[in-house]
Amino acid sequence: MINKEQLVRAAIQARQSSYAPYSGFAVGAALLLQNGIVICGCNIENASYGLTICAERTAIFKAISEGKRDFVALAVAAGENTPTSPCGACRQVISEFFPKGAPIYYANVKGEFIETTVSSLLPGAFSREDLK
């Protein structure tokens, strides 16, 4: 099974596919499944700026659309020095699909990373339970 350093490396690698001509800020994500498969994603921007999708959501939506839901961990990578933490929208999507205690690693491009959990990123997240 891949370790956390390798997952972070995969996220850094995924930045190479980033399409970010407007911000110039390349982000990569790597999502680990229970069976050891890693699904990667990158940010994809648009001339209509609001249509941009973040790297984390690209990876998550790729996995879901392929019928893969057993999510174990997620790494996100961007930034020269400060590890880039997931944006608010991505935190909500992460909390929809990952176990609350799942590890999330956010890294800079040097591979230095911070480890946290889904519930620490978005305590009290709105969820399907709130719809009942």
Nearest distance from residue 127's CB to ligand THU, in Å? 20
Q: Is 56 labeled as catalytic in the residue annotation?
A: yes
The number of residues making up the chain comes to: 132
Choose between 30 and 45: whose C-beta lies nearer to ligand THU.
45
Complex with ligand THU: residue 34 or 120, whichever CB lies closer = 120
Least distance in Å: CB of 119 to ligand THU?
17
Which among 14, 18, 21, 20 is positioned nearest to 39, based on CA atoms? 14
| Residues found near ligand THU in the complex (CB under 6 A) | 20, 23, 25, 27, 43, 45, 52, 54-56, 86-87, 90
Is the CB of residue 15 less than 8 Å from the CB of residue 27?
yes
State the Cα–Cα distance between residues 92 and 121, nearest whole angstrom: 9
Structural tokens at position 79: 């930034």
Burial classification of residue 103, based on how many CB atoms lie within 10 Å of its CB (0-12 exposed, 13-18 middle, 19 or more buried): middle
Least separation in angstroms between residue 20's CB and ligand THU is 5
Catalytic residue among 45, 56, 115, 129: 56
Q: Which residues are catalytic?
A: 56
